[in-house]
Amino acid sequence: MSQFKALLVSEENGAFVPRVVERDTSELPGGDVLVRVQYSSLNYKDALSASGNRGVSRNYPHTPGIDAAGVVEDSRVAEFAVGDEVLVTGYDLGMNTSGGFAQYIRVPAAWLIKRPAGLSLRESMLLGTAGLTAALCIDKLEQAGLTPEAGQVLVTGATGGVGSIAVALLARLGYSVAASTGKAEQSEFLRQLGAQQIVLRSELQEGADKPMLKERWAGAVDTVGGDILFNVVKSLRYGGSVACCGLTAGVGFKGSVMPFILRGVNLLGVDSVELPLVVKASMWDKLSVQWKLGNLDGLAREIGLEALPKAIEQILAGKLVGRVLVNLG
Q: Judged by CB under 6 A, does residue 111 bind ligand NDP?
A: no
For ligand NDP (CB under 6 A), the number of binding residues is: 31
Of 34 and 135, nearer to ligand NDP (C-beta) is 135
Q: Write down the least CB distance from residue 135 to ligand NDP, Å.
A: 11
What is residue 300's three-state secondary structure?
strand
Question: Three-state SS for 41?
Answer: strand
The answer to the question of residue 300 lying near ligand NDP (CB under 6 A) is no
Contact status, residue 36 vs residue 68, Cβ threshold 8 Å: no
Q: Pattern of binders to ligand NDP over 179-218, x per CB under 6 A?
A: --xxx-----------------x-----------------
Among 273, 281, 303, 307, binds ligand NDP (CB under 6 A): 273
Grouping H, G, I as helix, E, B as strand and the rest as coil, residue 127 is helix
Binding mask 36-75 for ligand NDP (x = CB under 6 A): -------xxx------------------------------
Least distance in Å: CB of 281 to ligand NDP? 16
Helix/strand/coil percentages in the chain, nearest 5: 35, 30, 40
E strand intervals along 203-298: 217-222, 236-244, 266-269
Q: Which of residues 126-185 bind ligand NDP (CB under 6 A)?
A: 129-130, 133, 157-163, 181-183
Reported as type and span, the H/E element at residue 287 is helix 277-288
The contact set with ligand NDP (CB under 6 A) reads: 43-45, 129-130, 133, 157-163, 181-183, 201, 223-224, 245-249, 270-273, 315, 318, 320
